[in-house]
Amino acid sequence: MEATLENYLSMLLAVIGNLQSNQNVWQSNKAFSTSVAAIGSCLAMIKSLVQITSLGTKGVTLTKTTARDTMEEATLVVAGVLGSFASKTGNTELFAKVGLVPSDISRLRDSEVDSFCQGIHDLAEDNLAALADYELVDSDLASLQVKIDAYNVLIGKPRQVRTANSAALKQLKAQLDQVRTILEEQVDGMMLKFKASQPDFFNSYMAARKVVDQPGGHAGKADAKVTDINSQPVAKAA
């Protein structure tokens, strides 16, 4: 999540915590209560969207890479048996299809390597009866098919995660902008009525409404920059 959004979310959590701890002060005010409820609804949605945007593609990509490597290794074993069989029987056409080196598979794109491996599997299946002496059996091909299917499921996952993250980030910015409007145009104005009657509540609320800018994400208190929320509006969704 972007640093500015993270800082803004921290402010929101502080504000909602302050409002909840002082509920006895404002709960009889229907308009105020409605605005606070709207903030709570936005915050619940924001938390869900933050979880989505925090999902990176690294884990998915590593899983896909592992699945591809496993599939390629199993395919090369089957191709090796087929190549030996084709050479011994003088089947030059078959040998041309299965006489592989690892780079023949590794150079293929993600979207085409599964079809290539499936082709090797199918060639072995067509010649399975003649491969008994090579100790290639049904279970070997079934195992290869499982690996091909497992990879096939993962082909588009990293892109799907990136797309979901992008969409969630836009929604997140929109929700933050909505809650900013509620705070600035509704709650902040109504808070003025508590300035004289409930000064402790008013002052603690105004303190919570400050955005603490932690530029590096790990800055200490001495390095934190405190800015008023009205001086740094959250970017609207594109």
* DSSP code for 233: P
Range with the poorest average pLDDT among 3-12, 176-185, 202-211? 3-12
- Consecutive H or E run containing 212: strand 210-213
Between residues 227 and 3, which one has the greater pLDDT? 3
Q: What are the CA-CA distances from residue 23 to residues 45, 77, 99 (Å)?
A: 22, 69, 76
Alpha helices in 23-156 (DSSP H): 23-26, 30-53, 58-89, 92-98, 102-106, 110-126, 138-154
Q: What is the mean pLDDT of residues 118-141?
A: 92
For residue 84, give both structure tokens.
Answer: 């030996």
Q: Check pLDDT > 70 for residue 227.
A: no
pLDDT in tens, 169-189: 788 888 888 998 999 999 999
* Contact yes or no for 149/83 (Cβ under 8 A): no
pLDDT value for 139: 87
Range with the poorest average pLDDT among 5-9, 125-129, 132-136? 5-9
Q: How confident is the model at residue 215 (pLDDT cuts 50, 70, 90)?
A: low
pLDDT value for 121: 96
**227 DSSP β-pair partners:** 211
pTM above 0.85, yes or no: no
pLDDT in tens, 51-72: 666 655 555 667 788 889 999 9
Range with the poorest average pLDDT among 31-40, 42-51, 140-149? 42-51
Domain boundaries, the chain: 3-54+158-231, 58-155
Q: Check pLDDT > 70 for residue 92.
A: yes
